Amino acid sequence: MTDATRIALINVHPIAMQPVEDAFKRHWPEADRAPILDESLFHDRGKAGVLTKPLADRIVALGEYAKLCGADGILYTCSAFGEAIESVQRSFAMPVLKPNEAMFEAALEHGRKVGMLATAPFAVGGLEQEFRELAQKRGADATLRTHCVAEAMQALTRGEANEHNRLLAAAAHHLADCDVIILAHFSTSRAEDVVKARVDVPVLTAPGAAVLKLKRLLAA
């Protein structure tokens, strides 16, 4: 691994971009980040309600574009496109990470009862399925309980980050009896500190876990 290692960051909303940049600055500042943004995917996914083939094809096409940009690894930052990203993982030789897989892996090390704070309702079903599949694959007797705070996402898209964080912190007590709490999306990681202040269990975020896993994979 060299300082020139290039990581393509495929985003579908600007609100995910700063959290992943902060994670790289903290854990892997020397990596060459190549952000890619197609915000229309976020809106189209929300309107469709499900991951359609045209939407999946667009996610794959962004991966192909990242390859043309000389990426050594790819990190997708939106949690609503899991199956499409899996298709990219199967097709590419380079490391390709779904947004939450590293965080889910870390959560399973903290105990059996996992709580998830989410803000994007249309992403919850896919995330819960991914978690169940990972737990089954690893033989983990783990459960996932989700609390979705949709109004926090609405606040964040209006530019009200403090209100987003306040709403998530206020909701944290719903999951305080879990062994660990995970913040479902890259965008929710900005509430890490205020959520931690409300509970006595570990709180995990997706960007930090993903950056550390990519760094480990490319070092190997």
> Over the chain (220 residues), what is each successive 10-residue block's mean pLDDT?
80 93 95 97 92 96 97 94 94 96 96 96 91 94 97 95 98 97 95 97 95 93
Say what the pLDDT of residue 3 is.
Answer: 56
The residue assigned the tokens 């990219």 is 88
**What is the chain's Cα-based Rg?**
16
- d(C-alpha 22, C-alpha 61), whole Å: 26
pLDDT of residue 61: 98
pTM comes to 0.86
CA atoms lying within 13 Å on the CB side of residue 62: 27
Are residues 8 and 66 in contact, defined by beta-carbon separation less than 8 angstroms?
Answer: yes
Give the three-state DSSP class for 43: helix
| Amino acid at site 110 | H
Measured CA angle at 163 (ends 35, 51), to 5 deg: 50
Beta carbons within 10 angstroms of residue 182's beta carbon: 28
* Distance from C-alpha of 53 to C-alpha of 60, rounded to nearest angstrom: 10
Q: Which phi and psi (to 5°) does residue 163 adopt?
A: -70, -40
Q: List, in sequence order, every residue forming a beta bridge with 183; answer none if it has no partner.
A: 117, 205
Domain architecture of the chain: domains with CATH: 6-99+208-219 (3.40.50.1860), 101-206 (3.40.50.1860)
Give the residues across from 87 on adjacent strands: none
Half-sphere exposure of 119 toward its Cβ, with a 13 Å CA cutoff?
A: 28
What pLDDT does 1 receive? 43
What is the C-alpha to C-alpha distance for residues 28 and 207, in angstroms, rounded to an integer?
12
